[in-house]
Structure 1
Amino acid sequence: MKIVPKSVAVKSFLTLLLTVSLTVLLFACRETASSESDGVTRSWADEEAKKVVAAIRREHPRIYLTPERIPALKAQALTSKVGPWKQMHQRMGGKQAALFYAMEIGPELGAKMSRNDYGRMAAKALMDAISGGGKASPDDLAILYDWAHDALTQEEKRAFVDFCKKRIGKEIRIHNEKAHGYRTSPKPEGMIAALAFYRDGIDDRYAEQLLLKGIRDTLQDNLAMEQVAGKDGGFADGTYYLFQLGGPPFNSFLALTTATGSSFFFDHAVFSRLPNQLIQALLPFAIERAKTGKASRYFATFHDNWTSTTSDYGSVGSGMATNMAITAAEFRRKGDEKTASLYMWLVKEAFGGIPYQAENPVSFVLLDETIPSLGPKEVGLPLAEALGWDEKAGEIDRDRFGKKAGIGWVAMRSAWNDPNATYALFKAEPFYYHGHMHHDSLAFMIAKGEELALARSGNYMCWYEGGPLRDKNPGWPQAANFFTRTISTNNLLVFDPKED
């Protein structure tokens, strides 16, 4: 057996001890830094939650609809919204009755029964949904409770609160793990319901606890989407997932805005800025896929850097278009006609207008189809735009905590209103945007008249990756008439060690 000198053994032990100590210290520092960062964001989210909960009005209605908005809605029922108004009367259910009750309509607006009868009809719909054993969502039933509040008996109000307690539990869940296989924006379940019965004297402590923690957790979780969006509102590769996997907390943030009379929606809903990026990503020309005979406008580099037509989104696209139109109406309500008109242009240009809403009472309250459609040229958008760049500071965009933010795009075109315009997109992403990012990231593309002169090639993506490009069924109809025209791939990724 070999004898190791004592001095050598001690030296080896000390070296090992030093290595272990440094390793522990390194991870401790990382954990401390992470904890400090989490502490800052948690403290901020706590204060924001307390501020908005304290501002919730006591009066009903307050979810999407307020007494101050009712006079304008009555006028619209006889003018710009006469069609949906008639449909709500013809296909009246509990929610339509709740709206008629809240608006206190009379014969001049087509009332067929008394206000009290409308209220009782809404109350019955609420009780039937609660006792029916179905899968009614507390958030979906909240407008029945809120809009017909004064028509409900105390027992009916308590029944709704007890129903919410049973369905929601001790806290608002901000992610439904069954629906969110990928990392997406939060979608709080139960926040609108808690907002409906808070300050009604039934169980205010329970409602307040739900709201404070739910809003705090949602805001803190939403910071990831805020960072990606930056001030310009772009999601690039993550845009598809944003809607496909549940969408942003659009309705919850909008309900909090109307219930508090604040700018909460514009302060925190990244969706309110998303159309800025989509306008820049819209190619100047329409493209026909697989000889279908129908041409569609394209957004450049959506999911996995894949150009996508607006029609590809199906029902998801319909929801996107509706929410964009609602956002345009919110901009008008706050006095920003320019942004409202620009967003409405995108809804019409890319999605063919506001999707059919039928007798939906929430859409009747929130949409405004009288907003004029003004395109980028008409409102004075430049032909070249850097998204994710702070013009005033002359540096990359930053989020509210100083971290790099925004998608890092430069979009350029020779003209706005010319289908023969040349379009170029340059991309230098400061970070990855979602968990499902393919390795073949597009660096730039140049397109003109349906010919993509320069774009990503090589590791193309079909419905299944690696499928033969010229196969009769490549899995995605675009592959056959898109990638055969690409010329080269151009990727360059450089990290600056001085940047965080």
Structure 2
Amino acid sequence: MKCTPQKAITTLCMVLGLALPGRLAHAADDQLPPAWLADLEPIKDEFRVRPERPRLYINRDDLPVIRSRAATSHQEAWQSVNSISDFSRLKDAWYDVHSVYSGTNGNAAVRSNRLTDRILAHAFQYLITNEPSHAREAIDAALELSADTKGDDLANAYRVWPESVAFDWCHAHLRPGEGQKLLENVRKQLKIVDAEVPLEKSALHMGHLVNHLADAFLPAGIAFYDEAPEIFERAIKVACSEIVAKNVFYRSGLSSQGDSYGLTHYHGDIRMLAMLKKATGVDLFQRFPFYRDVGYYWVYTRRPDGQFLRLGDEWMDSQNVPVWDPPAPWGPPWLMEALAYAAGAYGDAHLAYEYLKVRNLNHTWVAITDILWRDPDVEPRSPEDLPPVRYLDGAAGTLLFRTGWGPDDVVGLFKAMPLYVKNHDHLDRLSFQIYCRGALAIDSGIYEGVDSGYGSPHWLNYLQRTIAHNSLLIRDPGEEVLYRGRKVVADGGQRFPGVGNDPVSLADLRDPLWHIARVLSHGEDQELGRYAFVSADATAGYGPKAEKVERSFVFLNGSRSGANPENVVPKATIVIRDRVVARNPGHQIVWLFHSLEEPAIEGVKFTIKNSGANYGGVLLSHSLLPRQARIDKVGGPGKEFWVNDTNYGTSKSGTCEAGAWRLEITPQEADRAVDFLHVFQVYPRPPAKAPVPLSVEGRGVVGAELLDRTVIFSTAGDGARSLQYVSVGTGQREHLVIGLPAGKMANVSAGGRNTGQFSTGPSGSLTFRIDQQGRTEFQIAVE
């Protein structure tokens, strides 16, 4: 790289993807199959269950350590276990029927939870104290629980693992016939679990397989290995493929199933790693270090009000927890335990901090997990020293961004996600969410509300579909959409691959049918978090009606110079450029935006507010392209979930943010090829005055002129060799140019003077700073 300063121009070159620290960028991976699939061969079976007990979740070598912790560093957790063991004996003890232990509701859940607490608390007390009376309490409760086969597959799976714990931890105190009786009852429960879908026929990425393995077959297989080795052998064979399939996404730092079901999947999978390490000595934590990274998804997507950005089918929003004063963080037991495992396995200080923030030792297994896995030598560290942007590569193709970690900061994401594996994932490629003092750009719809559960009309025709997300539509009047043989609404969005059937096997993941998007390039300033961008193509997801559907999403963190008054400078600026080409000029191309409150429209501008108590955030949008765009408002009472003249109405209590409004932006004149260019300015409270973004035009470019930045998108494709544009800004400005050929050198001139030579890096992008004296013509020549 070479920079050549000129007399009237001061430049600072910043090259993405080269040696400067914190600047990373990458271009699209066009390999077939994609590199992010990695090795899809099942894990080699090297798992041999140790003969000595205990071996489920803990082994003999751990006993001195946990006994010491219970007496010293973890006394609070130990006292909680003791209190719970006493409480669980009460005949009329109150229990949350929706707790992690129950797979059912009502009295059956209360009974299961009471017995589960008795088993776990007393079995653990026995390990710590060697007091036989605790072993007897645990065994008696396990025998009582194992006689219960009521309920569905999950209700029975959730009974098997505590029964297995009692059998393994208290084995020395089983009376003649009790072990055989427990095994006999567990086999009956496993039969019910298996009746849902047999392990070997279950889809690896979805459904209840992770529960069947982590809660039933694997713990039973480990505990009863001496008596019934076939349970473990069957479970481990399936687990060796299931883990590999899940790793396609975990390697990138998230689960395909969203924030709620992604959590239950991650929780189950990381528990399996913990069980296998203790029972067989095979350390998959070390082999797969990215299980630590997955935990960071919930660090980055936690909003200042304690909630998470919604993604996929959402059940966490049913929690009736207060927000603010101080924030009450969402933290179900699955999250507590998953964070505890990850923080302990990797000695991670940030995950330890997040775990302690949500830890609730009134949950028996959380208290036990705390003693087993929380390392007292790891000093928890707040996330404030983490980079504000985090790009999740590979199959995830997702950008997580923040302006910081305070109550006024922006939190958001952009999702490209090339691989679609269905179930709780949505047809939401190229969508975004933005939060600042309240949800502003939202993920709309309701899961498990009034008549809106899995497979309901609301779920099939709205919640799962592109129209419910901040993405793009191509409306084809003649389109028909099928889901497993039944006709569903044609919303104009992305289509169900395989007409609603599931990708089941590892081989299915290789099939391009399920590859519905691809990331073209991405870049981010990891060191300071000043900017990040992703360009992605979701054409494949739209089927035959689309010739091209591309979106470039640019996040800019505040003002680069910081020289402007606070009430003028946006907390964040988002620039979105879309290029959509339909196959037929009769197809309508639509740009979507969803909000909780009714938008205010003024010409080609719209304003989104969140006026809820303690919120007050504002998003100001300018539609720079197409010229004189048409902005239509859809929503309000009776039209909250409106698709093709039908409202798929539903409701839900708790902290649900279903949305009630959407904007549909279209060109005034119908065209099969449409360019959109939008600028969002995000504030924690209404500004006294906001800067007005301007459109930038030139040869082979579109772009936006902002407060002290200029963002340029090449429209000439990878073959672009010469670009020209005019910027009218003054003072110190930063220019970001994306969409250039990757791995080339580019000469930049400003006002006819050579500014310098820059590498476009692997992403095909460059940035430079310049002391700009008003209207200046820029030329970029790629060698």
TM-score of the alignment, normalized to the shorter chain, above 0.5: yes
The one-letter amino acid of 2:126's match is Y
CA distance in 1, matches of 2:196, 2:189: 14
Contact 1:233/1:274 (8 A) holds in 2: yes
Q: 1:51 aligns with which of 46, 64, 75?
A: 46
1:197 maps to 2:211: no
- Equivalences, count: 391
Within the candidate set 268, 274, 279, 1:248 is matched to 268
- Paired position in structure 2 for 1:393: none
Partner Cα distance (1:79, 1:268) in 2: 32
Secondary structure class of the residue paired with 1:411: strand
Q: Is the 8 A contact 1:63 1:255 kept in 2?
A: yes
Q: CA RMSD in A?
A: 4.8
Q: Equivalent of 1:227, from 248, 262, 280?
A: 248
2:264–2:334: 8 Å Cα contact kept in structure 1? no
Quickly say closer, same or farther: Cα 1:151–1:448, change in 2 above 3 A. closer
Structure 1 or 2: larger helix share? 1
Instruction: Check conservation: 1:64, 1:365, Cα contact below 8 A.
Output: no
Aligned to 2:281: 261
* Conserved? CA contact 1:453–1:486, under 8 Å: no
Is the counterpart of residue 345 in structure 1 residue 353 in structure 2?
Answer: yes
Letter in 2 for 1:434: K
Amino acid at match of 2:306: R
Counterparts of 1:172 and 1:269 in 2: how far apart (Å)?
31
Would the alpha carbon gap of residues 461 and 256 (structure 1) be closer, same or farther in structure 2, given more than 3 Å must change? farther
Give distance in 1, aligned partners of 2:312 and 2:351.
Answer: 22
Structure 1's 153 and 270: CA in aligned 2 closer, same or farther, altered over 3 A? farther
Distance 1:438 1:171 in 2: 27
Residue 206 of structure 2 is matched in structure 1 by 183
Residue 342 (structure 1) shift: 0.9
- TM-score scaled to structure 2, two decimals? 0.42
User: 1:265, CA displacement in angstroms?
Assistant: 4.8
The alpha carbon displacement at 1:258 in A equals: 1.3
Contact 1:172 1:210 in 2 (8 A): no
- Report the Cα offset of residue 218 of structure 1: 2.7
Residue correspondence of structure 1 range 72-471 to structure 2 within 5 A: 72-90=65-83, 91-92=85-86, 93-105=118-130, 115-130=131-146, 137-169=159-191, 183-184=206-207, 186-187=210-211, 188=213, 189-198=216-225, 200=226, 202-203=227-228, 207=229, 209-229=230-250, 231-235=251-255, 238-243=258-263, 248-265=268-285, 267=287, 272-283=292-303, 286=304, 296-303=305-312, 317-331=331-345, 336-337=346-347, 339=348, 341-347=349-355, 352-360=357-365, 362-363=368-369, 365-368=371-374, 370=376, 371-378=378-385, 381-388=386-393, 397=394, 405=395, 407-414=396-403, 416-423=404-411, 425-435=413-423, 438-439=426-427, 441-444=429-432, 448=436, 450=438, 452=440, 456=470, 458=592, 460=594, 469-471=635-637
User: What is the rounded CA distance, in whole Å, between the counterparts of 1:382 and 1:243 in structure 2?
Assistant: 23
Post-superposition CA distance 1:274-293 (Å, at most 9, x none): 2222333344xx3xxxxxxx
Is residue 388–residue 402 contact of structure 2 (8 Å, CA) maintained in 1? yes
Give me the whole-angstrom Cα distance separating, in 2, the residues matched to 1:272 and 1:236. 16
Any idea what SS the aligned residue of 2:399 has? strand
Judge conservation of contact 1:94–1:144 (CA < 8 Å) in 2: yes
Query: What is the CA–CA distance in structure 1 between the aligned matches of 2:58 and 2:254, rounded to whole Å?
Result: 29
Comparing 213-222 with 313-322, greater Cα deviation is found at 313-322
Deviates more, 1:444-453 or 1:211-220: 444-453
The alpha-carbon distance between structure 1 residues 221 and 139, as it changes in their structure 2 partners (threshold 3 A), is same
SS of residue in 1 equivalent to 2:260 = helix
Q: CA deviation at 1:357?
A: 2.7
Matches of 1:316 and 1:446, distance apart in 2:
18
Query: Matches of 2:309 and 2:149 in 1, distance apart?
Result: 46
- What amino acid does structure 2 have at the position aligned with 1:221? E
**What is the one-letter code of the residue matched to 1:218?**
A
Assess, with a 3 A threshold, how the Cα gap between structure 1 residues 451 and 438 changes in structure 2: closer, same or farther. Answer: closer
Q: 2-side partners of 1:485 and 1:216: how far apart?
A: 49
Once the 2 structures are TM-superposed, how far is the Cα of residue 145 of structure 1 from its aligned partner?
A: 0.8
Structure 1 residue 119: deviation in Å?
3.3
Q: What percentage of aligned pairs have identical amino acids?
A: 17
Three-state SS of the structure 2 residue aligned to 1:303 is coil
* CA separation of 1:176 and 1:444: change in aligned 2, threshold 3 A: same
Quote the Cα distance in structure 2 between the aligned partners of 1:307 and 1:126.
30
Alpha-carbon spacing, 1:482–1:368, altered in 2? closer, same or farther (3 Å): farther
Q: More strand per residue: 1 or 2?
A: 2
Question: What does the per-residue CA deviation read over 1:50-103, in whole Å, with 9 as the maximum and x for residues that have no partner?
Answer: 301x2x211111111222222222222233433443344343444433323333
**Structure 1 unpaired stretches of 5+:** 1-32, 35-39, 106-114, 287-295, 389-396, 398-404
- 8 Å contact from structure 1 (residues 299, 307) kept in 2: no
Contact 1:236 1:301 in 2 (8 A): no
Q: 1:130 to 1:280 in 2, by over 3 A?
A: closer
Are the structure 2 counterparts of residues 480 and 121 from structure 1 closer, same or farther at C-alpha, using a change threshold of 3 Å? closer
Distance 1:176 1:213 in 2: 11
One-letter amino acid matched to 2:222: L
State the TM-score, normalizing by the size of structure 1: 0.62
Aligned-partner Cα distance in 1 for 2:68–2:364: 18
Q: Deviations over 1:145-190 (max 9, x none)?
A: 111111224532233333333433599679589x99x934632232
> Relative to structure 1, is the Cα distance of residues 369 and 246 closer, same or farther in structure 2, using a 3 angstrom cutoff?
closer
Q: CA deviation at 1:262?
A: 2.8
Give the C-alpha shift of residue 355 in structure 1: 2.4
CA distance in 2, matches of 1:235, 1:313: 25
CA offsets per residue over residues 407-453 of structure 1, 9 Å max, x none? 11233444x34444455644332122424555554444565555848
CA drift at 1:129:
3.8
Tell me the SS of whatever aligns to 1:213. helix
Distance in 2, matches of 1:412 and 1:322, equals: 23
Q: Which moved more, 1:241-250 or 1:154-163?
A: 241-250
Name the SS for the 1:458 alignment partner.
strand
Q: How far has the Cα of 1:260 moved from its partner?
A: 1.9
